[in-house]
Amino acid sequence: MSAEIVTLPTLANLCTADAVEVLERMLERARNGEIATVAIAALTVDNSAVFTYSQQMSGIGLLGACTLLQHDLTAALIREGNP
């Protein structure tokens, strides 16, 4: 008889898997020529903030996209009751 070790999902594992999925989806869109400029903000596993961005075709447009993202994240935090 052999035993199978199963890793139980944790919040950290679920978040990491979701982050990889989001990045892969956006990478595919960039490879298809749909995305020309990108900004990335992320938290590491030790809660450090990191960010980067590519050359901008439209710095104002990319800043606007970041502002929309901030609004969306704020609304999600309010909905979920996170401080």
Residues 6+ apart with CB under 8 A from 22: none
Whether pLDDT at 83 is above 70? no
Rounded to two decimals, what is the model's pTM?
A: 0.75
Hey, where are the domains in the chain? Answer: 11-80
53 is written with which tokens? 């961005």
Cα separation, 56 vs 21, whole angstroms? 24
The pLDDT tens digits of the residues spanning 3-34 come to: 888 777 777 778 888 999 999 999 999 999 99
- Classified as helix, coil or strand, 44 is coil
How far is residue 71 from each of residues 15, 21, 54, 63, measured CA to CA in Å? 21, 22, 22, 12
